[in-house]
Structure 1
Amino acid sequence: MKTQIMSMFALLIFIISQIINIHGSHFQGGMITWKYKDNQVYITYKVSFNNHECDNIYILNRSLVNGEGSLMCYSGCHNTLVTPLSYYCTQFSDVDNWKYGQRTLNVTFPSTSDNIYIFGYRGGSWVSLAEGGGSWSLIATANLTIRQDNGRINSSPIAAMQPFVTVNKNCAMPYALIIPVQDEDGDVVRCRWAVNSITDECGSVCYILRNSVLDPSNCILYINAIPTTGLYAVALQLEDFGKQQDTIALSSVPLQFIVNVVDSTNPCENKPRIEIPVIVIPSYSMYHQTITARSTGSQIAEVNIVSPVGFIKSELLRYGSSNDRWYVNVTWTPTNEDIGIHIFCYTAIDVDRQASDQECKTLKIIDADGCVSNPCSNGASCTQLINGYTCKCAVGFTGIFCETDQIKMNRMNRIHKDELNSC
C-alpha cells in the first residue's frame, strides 16, 4: 500500500512538473494600441508565446490561435473587454521558438466624467529569463475626450518591433535598437521605461536592462554591455503629445519584447544586411515584396517579419545560383478594415544567430472608394487616381488629407519660440 501511495505521489509530481513546463514559462511580450473610428474604439493587441500553435497554414487561412487570459478594464469601467485573447498568427520562428500575432476588436466604453480609461492584459509567467520573470502586465491608458487642438478624439501611437531581438554580446556596445513608431494624429511620440506604479505597467520585468540608456524623444534603446547570455525582457510605454513642449500624455500604450543575448564567435562585421527595395503599394490590390538578405559570413537561416494580419511569407529561398544571397516573398491584400497607417519590419538572421539591423516601412492604406467617400478635409479638392486619390489642399493647409492647419501651426511655433527666447 505504501509503495502504491509513493508511486501515485511520484506520478502526481511528474504531471505537475509537465504542466509547469508547458504553461509556466511561455509569455514573450506584446503590445496594446487603440484607434478611435466611426464612434467606436478599436483595440489591437499583439502577443508572443512559445507554446501556441502557428504555422504557414494558420497564417494563410487566418485561423484564430487559441488565446489565454482576458483584456480587462481597470479604470473608467470594471469589466472584461475581451476573453479569451485569441489572435491571428502573423509570424513564427521554429529556430528561436516563438509565435507572434495580433487581433483587432471594437469595444464600447461607458460614458464617464473624464472619459479616461485604463485597460490591459495580465497573467501567468514570462518565458525563462536571465533576470526577472514571473507575472506579466501590459497596461494602456486612453483619453476619449474631444481634443481642443484638432476637434477629434485621439488615437494612440503604434509601433512595430520584432518579438525576439538577437544581440551578440561580443560585439561593440552600446547596441542601438531603433523602435519604429508612428502616430495617425501627427502627434509627438516619446518612449519611456514602464514602471511598477499604481497601475502596475510591467509586472515582474520592470527593472531588467535598466543599465541600458533609453532616448525617449527618438525611441532608441542603447543596450550596454551584458555580462551573461540568455533572454532579457524589455518593458516600455509609448506616449503621444500634442506639442513638443507638452508634458501630459494624450495616451500611453505598452510595448514589451525579448532581447536574446548570444555568445557568437563569428565576426560582428559579418552580420547579414537587408537589401531595401523600392516599395509601391496600390490600394486594395495584392501587395508583393521580395526581401533579400546578403550573408558576409554564415548562411542566412531565416528572415523574420513584423506585419499586419494577413501577410503571407514564403519559405526562405536561395537567390539564383548565389551562395551568399537569400530571399523571401511576402504578399498582402488589405481590406477596408486596414485603412490607416501600418508599420512593416523585417530582420535577417544567419545560422550563427547574428541578426541584421531591423528595417521598417510605413504602409498607408487608403479608402478604395477614393473621392466617393469625401476623404479630403478643410475645403480641399479630391482627384481620383487609378490606385486611390490625391487631395489638393486649400491655401494654408497641408497633410495627406489636408488635415493640418499650417498657418495655425506656424503661429503656435512662433509663440513657443518666443517663450523659449524669453526664458
Structure 2
Amino acid sequence: MLGPSTVVFFTLLAAASVEASHFRGGTISCTPDMDNMDLVHCNYRMGWRLSSNAGECDQFAIDNNVLMGGEGTWDTPIGRVPASFYCTDFSEQEDWQQGVNSLTVNLRDANVTTTNGTTDTYTISFDGCCWITVIRPGNGTHDPDWQVTTQFDMSRRADTGRPNSSPITASSAIYRVQSSCDDVIRIPTEDSDGDTVKCYYSSVFAECGEACDPLPFSQLNEDTCEITYNTTHGELTPGWYAIALTIEDYPPGAAGTAGSGLSRVPVQFLVNAYTSNTPCSLKPQLVGRTPEAGDRVVIPAGGVYHAVLEAEAASPGASIVEISTVSPHGMIKSDLVTDPDMPHRASVNITWSPTLAQLGQHIFCFRAQDSNMENSDQRCMTLVYIGTHDVDECMDNNGNCSHACVNTAGSYHCACPGGMVLSQEDNKECEDIDECARNPELCHDNAECINTYGSYICECDVGYVGDGTVCRIDVDECANGTHGCHEHAHCIDLPGSHELHL
C-alpha cells in the first residue's frame, strides 16, 4: 500500500527555453526487472504540440527510428538524462505529436533519502509549464502548469511472491467532443499481474499540478475508466479542457479505495469541445477489416503484426482525412489511401515488428477523422509480444499451485484468493491469513474475533447484540417491565428483543 514512506525518485525539470502552451499530456508506468531486483524499468509516453521544440515528428522520423530531443531533462539519482523520445504518432489535423522511451535505474546505486529508512515505495514526478489555455468550472480560463506523477512499491507481494508491476495505459493527446452530443471517453488499461484496476481524478492526491478540474457535465466510472459526457446535465463551453487521471491496481478481492493501490499510474490528455451543425449520429465509423475494441493478439518470437484500419465518413459529401493512432515504438503506418470506388472510405496499413526489449503487453488505439473534423469512436486493443513460443505451465498439474495458476509470457506464477497469502517457502502454497492476529481492531471492543479459513467472523460478547463490528448492550425488557406483554402472557427475553407466549 502506498503511504508516507514515499521517496521522490525522479523529477523532470523544464528547460528554461521551453515554449509555453506546448504540453499535450502523457503517462508513465514502472515495472521491476524479474532477474535483478535492483533494477526498475519505466516506460513513458509524452505528447507535445507538433510545432513545438520537442522535435520534428513525422512519418520519416517514425520509419527511421529517429530519436527526438524532447523538452527538458530527467533528474534521476544517477544524474540528469535528456527527456528524449522516439516518435510514434502525430496528427497534422490536430497539431499534436507523441513519443515513447524508457529509463532503467539501479536502485542499489540510487542516491535517495527516506523518511523512515525504507526504500520500497518510490515516486516519479514530471512537471513544467504549460498546458494550452484551458477552461475551468465557472468558465474561467488559465494556463496551468502540468505534473505527471507515478508511484510504485518494490516490496514483495504476499499473494504472488514477486514485486508488483504497475498497470499500463494509453491515450490520444486530444479528444474532440461536440458540445451538443453525448459522448464517452474510454481510457484503456492492462495489468500483467491480473489485478483489479480503477481510476480517479488526480486531484484526490494533488497529482495534477494546476490542471486538476474534472470534465464538466460528465461522470467518471472508476471501474471502467470511462468519462461519460451527458448533455442533459448541461453543454460544454467550446474550448479546451485539461484532464488528469490516476490509475491504481489492487490485489483480487481487495477493496479498491483511492490511495490504497499497489501503484499509481497517471494518464493526462486534452479535451476540445466544439460546436457543429453535423447531426450527432453522423460521426465517421471504423469498418471492414479494422480490429475490434478489446481484441487481444499474441505475437510469437520473430512474429510481425499486420492490420488494416478502415473507416467511412457518414456525413453526405464528407471524406476520411486521417486515421490517427496511439502506437507502440516501431509501428509503421502507411499513407492514407482513399477507395477510388467509394470516396467516403479510406484505409491505412499497420505493420509492427517488436523487439526483445518489447516483451509483454502494449496498448494500440486508433480512430478516424472526416473532412468535417468529426471523429469516430476510439478503439483500443492489446498486443502481447511473448518473444518465444510460450508454454502454458499452468496446463501441467496447475503449475503445482495450491490454488490459482496465472500463465505469463515465458513464465507463470501462483496466486491466492482473498484472505490467503502465498507461502514464502515455495511461492506455490496458499496459507491462511489470521486476520484477527494481524488487526486486533477488526471487531467491536465488546466482541470476539474468530479466525476462519480464508476469512474471519466477529461475535458479540455475552450481554451484547449486533453484527460483531457494532455491539450494543442487550436490554432484558421482561425484567425491567418495558415488554408491553398482556398480564396473562409469559415474556421471554431474546437477544435484542423479547417474545410473547400466551
TM over 0.5: yes
CA distance in 1, matches of 2:453, 2:45: 40
Q: Does 1:217 align with 2:223?
A: yes
Question: Given the alignment, which residue of 262, 271, 276 partners 1:259?
Answer: 271
Partner of 2:326: 306
Partner of 1:16: none
Partner of 1:228: 237
Partner of 1:91: 89
Aligned partner letter, 2:218: S
CA distance in 1, matches of 2:133, 2:269: 13
CA change 1:84–1:215 in 2 (3 A) is same
CA change 1:422–1:215 in 2 (3 A) is farther
CA distance in 1, matches of 2:60, 2:266: 29
Cα deviation for residue 363 of structure 1 reads: 0.8
Q: Deviations over 1:305-351 (max 9, x none)?
A: 11110011111111352122110111110011111011111011111
**More deviation, 90-99/123-132:** 123-132
Q: Does 1:24 align with 2:20?
A: yes
CA change 1:205–1:335 in 2 (3 A) is same
Aligned partner letter, 1:295: A
Cα deviation for residue 210 of structure 1 reads: 5.2
Q: Does 1:317 align with 2:317?
A: no
Bigger Rg, structure 1 or 2: 2
Scaled by the length of structure 2, the TM-score of the pair is: 0.69
Unmatched 5+ stretches in structure 2: 1-15, 111-116, 136-140, 421-431, 433-451, 459-466, 470-502
CA change 1:230–1:296 in 2 (3 A) is same
Report if aligned partners of 2:419, 2:455 keep a CA contact under 8 Å in 1.
no
Question: Given the alignment, which residue of 82, 103, 106 partners 1:105?
Answer: 103
**More deviation, 396-405/312-321:** 396-405
Question: Given the alignment, which residue of 54, 63, 66 partners 1:63?
Answer: 66
Cα deviation for residue 288 of structure 1 reads: 1.1
Question: Given the alignment, which residue of 333, 337, 350 partners 2:353?
Answer: 333
Cα deviation for residue 136 of structure 1 reads: 0.8
CA distance in 2, matches of 1:255, 1:223: 18
Report if aligned partners of 1:262, 1:353 keep a CA contact under 8 Å in 2.
no
Question: Given the alignment, which residue of 141, 151, 159 partners 2:161?
Answer: 151
Cα deviation for residue 398 of structure 1 reads: 4.0
**More deviation, 33-42/80-89:** 80-89
Partner of 1:389: none
CA distance in 2, matches of 1:264, 1:106: 46
CA distance in 1, matches of 2:78, 2:276: 45
CA change 1:380–1:107 in 2 (3 A) is farther
Question: Given the alignment, which residue of 173, 176, 179 partners 1:163?
Answer: 173
Partner of 1:46: 45
- Describe the SS at the equivalent of 1:57: helix
- Describe the SS at the equivalent of 1:239: strand
Q: Does 1:271 align with 2:283?
A: yes
CA distance in 1, matches of 2:191, 2:361: 8
CA distance in 1, matches of 2:404, 2:454: 20
Report if aligned partners of 2:18, 2:72 keep a CA contact under 8 Å in 1.
no
CA change 1:89–1:82 in 2 (3 A) is farther
Report if aligned partners of 1:90, 1:311 keep a CA contact under 8 Å in 2.
yes
**More deviation, 223-232/248-257:** 223-232
CA RMSD, Structure 1 to Structure 2 (Å): 3.1
Q: Deviations over 1:106-152 (max 9, x none)?
A: 11224752411111111121123234332110011111001111001
CA distance in 2, matches of 1:210, 1:249: 27
CA distance in 1, matches of 2:222, 2:68: 34
Larger helix proportion of the pair: 1
CA distance in 2, matches of 1:290, 1:184: 27
CA distance in 2, matches of 1:403, 1:220: 31
Q: Does 1:291 align with 2:309?
A: yes
CA change 1:178–1:416 in 2 (3 A) is farther
User: Percent of counterpart pairs with the same letter?
Assistant: 32
Partner of 1:141: 151
Report if aligned partners of 1:169, 1:261 keep a CA contact under 8 Å in 2.
yes
CA change 1:124–1:329 in 2 (3 A) is same
Unmatched 5+ stretches in structure 1: 1-19, 74-78, 382-391
CA distance in 2, matches of 1:303, 1:422: 59
